[in-house]
Amino acid sequence: MSDSFYGDVRFPAWALRFLPEFSQEDSTRLELEPSSKVYFYEEDECENGEVSIIANLAAMGIPYDSSSAEYFEYKAETIYFRFRDNGTTEEHGVLEGSDRVPAQDIIDLVDNHLTAAEIGKWCRDYIAPFQPLTPPLEEITESDYRAWLDQKAQVFRDHVLAALDGKHVSISRMYTIHGIEDGENTLFSMPGTVWSKRLQPRVRFSDKQIDEGERLFLGVRFFMAGKDRVAAFISPVAISPTDIPGLTMAVTEYLETICKGEDA
């Protein structure tokens, strides 16, 4: 069961070129803020107060600040989303009013004879978890984003750049290449060999493990080969042929490990 009510989102102006076309109807508005560095997009009616383009922004790692209105049992909330080192992202939600120190707490501190400096520190510590993520959207450049992309798996980068070129991209499948079987293939403009393992039932698998695989095995390309197969592509173009036998053994062991849900 879901409800529809007001929501909005702010994102860097340069990011608009990366996004697929999205609806701009009477109930939606897209505006460039006076700084010319941030777009503001709002929808009068969106599912649970989350505007439709947020899924695309999050899937591509594009930073944003989104807000939803208070609606019956739903409290007004702002969600901050930023990309971080090693191709990771961070999301932080703040409910409206949670950053306000309760008056009774201040009274109790005074009654306990804390100094003004001590009360000030206590208040700063109280509100610290409810502060926006940094840096501000206005300070995040496309160059910053592209540097972050360089830390992601090749398949992810290719999908983002395809979206930038106006090609249709399945945002929910940024790490997936369909129709690939084990054996000799040409992928990423290179000839090579695909090796894959099937995820075991109930294994908790994260796309971050694909990014991590490419950091562990330089030159190897990792991706999802469909819904439940994790694959690696090894090419003599990217890797010295003399290193391939040993690397292939290490990579297949890595695939086996993560598909069983074990620590690599």
Q: Is it the case that residue 264 has pLDDT exceeding 70?
A: no
Q: How much is the pLDDT for 166?
A: 84
Across 2-6, average pLDDT: 81
DSSP state string for 193-228: EEEEEEPPTT----THHHHHHHHHSTT-EEEE-SSS
Q: How much is the pLDDT for 95?
A: 83
Q: What is the mean pLDDT of the chain?
A: 89
Q: What percent of the chain has pLDDT over 90?
A: 60
Distance between CA atoms of 66 and 50, rounded to whole angstroms? 8
Q: What percent of the chain has pLDDT over 70?
A: 96
Q: How much is the pLDDT for 39?
A: 97
* 191 DSSP assignment: E
Q: How much is the pLDDT for 167?
A: 86
More confident of the two residues 127 and 243? 243
The pLDDT confidence band at residue 125, using thresholds 50, 70 and 90, is confident
The pLDDT confidence band at residue 187, using thresholds 50, 70 and 90, is very high
Instruction: Show contacts of 134-137: CB within 8 Å, 24+ apart.
Output: 134/82, 135/82, 137/10, 137/11, 137/12, 137/37, 137/38, 137/63, 137/64, 137/65
pTM summary value: 0.84
The pLDDT confidence band at residue 99, using thresholds 50, 70 and 90, is confident
Beta bridge partners of 79: 66, 93
Q: Is it the case that residue 236 has pLDDT exceeding 70?
A: yes
Asked if 244 and 236 touch (Cβ cutoff 8 Å), the reply is: yes
Strand, helix or coil for residue 79 = strand
Across 118-128, average pLDDT: 79
User: In this predicted model, what pLDDT tens digit does every residue of 8-52 receive, in sequence order?
Assistant: 999 999 999 998 776 667 678 999 999 999 999 999 888 888 898
Q: Is it the case that residue 207 has pLDDT exceeding 60?
A: yes
Q: Is it the case that residue 195 has pLDDT exceeding 90?
A: yes
